[in-house]
Amino acid sequence: MDPTDEELVRRYRTGDASAFDALVDRYARGALRFAAHFLGEAHEAEDVAQECFLKLFTVARNGVYDPQRGRFAPFFFRMLRNLSLDRLRARRPSGPLSQDPAGEEPDGATLAERGETCARVREIVERLPANERAAIALREFEGLSYREIAEALGASLESVKTWIFRARRRIERRWRGEEEA
Amino acid sequence: MACEAFGPDLSTYADGELEPSRAAAVERHLAHCPDCRSSLRTWRAAGESLRKEDPTPDRSDAFRAALPRAAPAAASRRRRRWLAPVAAGVALAAVLSFERARAARDAEAVVALEERNRTETIELLGAVESLRYDAAALLLRARAAEAGEAAGLEEDLRSLTESLRRLEGNLSRIRDGLDREGLLAGPTEAIDGTKNR
């Protein structure tokens, strides 16, 4: 059985340098995906993901993250989210972080009834407001629990439930071409 | 579209996060509400679609290659604490070179990166100072114990002496490097009374 993330952190801190590589392998795609969802720009996302691993290198070594106090994933994604926020603030220092974009949507049947959905759903998700996008990404891609998502995003459990519900409703409406402008 | 009153609970139910009593209510509602059943199917299909063809590339090789290569912290902080600053020294040297490369790309980051280098340096020097206290304490213990536990103490002392020797060499290289970078401003004075800058 593969070691847990927390076990890898413990191994790294007790002398196993390869455990850190295993963590990078395990989180590389997730980090890039989350940063891309958050920032909406692939090149910038790669920079932020890289910066996050560099920071992780330091905090794992210094014991800032303690595996006994909680799961690694929410800690990691919170760090990544903070770095992404820093990048967004630098990009648009006085603007709001979350906008609700609107656009023309094609008519369509339910997702379950359509075949070519993947790219279309991704496109819709990319246009969700930032909080909803981050919450649904952590749920659907990373499989975090609601409580872990709340921890990662620095939000309440109720906010997470609301964001995920609204994200799904928006995805459904946009797919059906019913979304309001 | 899901019913307004049941929508939020239906979404939480879809993720298996709804408390049992409310989940039972959602299931009763689903039994006679085709709109909510349709929404539930749609949400699940959307999630599957997202996961099925995820275009995110795997950049783990590049991420790992850009990280400093360093031994992790000591195998046992209690028994072999002097290894930590040695490891930190190796890490610091690697971090410096990596971050210099980054700084060349991103001029704005230079100040922040140098500040981080400086913080790491101060942490390292603090660890060295702590090590010296540990060494002094061990020597005192060795003298007090004299012949009684000599075997174990001798082994500890030999190990400590070797670690100290390596640490001194490592620290010397780091100091030289930091001097060249202009990143060190005096904290070594507290350790051995010598100023580097």
Tell me the per-residue pLDDT of B9-28, one tens digit each, with 9 for 90 and over.
Answer: 999 999 999 999 999 999 99
The lowest-confidence range among A12-21, A24-33, A86-95 is: A86-95
* Nearest residue to A142 (alpha-carbon basis) of A5, A2, A1: A5
What's the one-letter identity of residue B42? T
CB contact A165 to B (< 8 Å): yes
Give residue B92's pLDDT band: very low, low, confident or very high (50, 70, 90). Answer: low
At residue B115, the 3 state secondary structure works out as helix
Contact B73 A61 (CB under 8 A): yes
Nearest CB to B75 within list A14, A58, A111: A14
In terms of CA atoms, which chain B residue is nearest residue A139? B15
CB contact A110 to B (< 8 Å): yes
Task: Extract the tokens encoding A120.
Answer: 């279309």
Contact B43 A172 (CB under 8 A): yes
**Mean pLDDT for all residues in chain A:** 81
**Burial of A14 (C-beta count, 10 Å sphere; 0-12/13-18/19+):** middle
Contact A15 B72 (CB under 8 A): yes
Give residue B89's pLDDT band: very low, low, confident or very high (50, 70, 90). Answer: low
Give residue B102's pLDDT band: very low, low, confident or very high (50, 70, 90). Answer: low
**The predicted structure's pLDDT at residue A7:** 93
Alpha carbon distance, N-terminus to C-terminus of chain A: 49
Cα distances from A68 to residues A9, A14, B69, in angstroms, run 11, 15, 26
Give residue A63's pLDDT band: very low, low, confident or very high (50, 70, 90). Answer: confident
**The predicted structure's pLDDT at residue A15:** 80
**The predicted structure's pLDDT at residue A64:** 77
Contact (Cβ atoms closer than 8 angstroms) between residue A147 and residue A135? no
State percent of chain A over pLDDT 70: 83
Contact B11 A164 (CB under 8 A): yes
**The predicted structure's pLDDT at residue B125:** 64
Task: Provide the chain A residues 73-92 that lie in CB contact (below 8 A) with chain B.
Answer: none
Contact A119 B17 (CB under 8 A): no
Which of A174 and B191 is assigned the larger pLDDT?
A174
Which of B52 and B11 is assigned the larger pLDDT?
B11
Q: Which long-range contacts (CB under 8 A, 24 or more apart) does A107-116 make?
A: A107/A176, A107/A177, A108/A175, A108/A176, A108/A177, A109/A176, A110/A172, A110/A175, A110/A176, A110/B38, A110/B41, A110/B42, A110/B45, A111/A172, A111/A175, A111/B41, A111/B42, A111/B45, A111/B46, A111/B49, A112/B41, A112/B42, A112/B44, A112/B45
CB contact A164 to B (< 8 Å): yes
Contact B67 A53 (CB under 8 A): yes
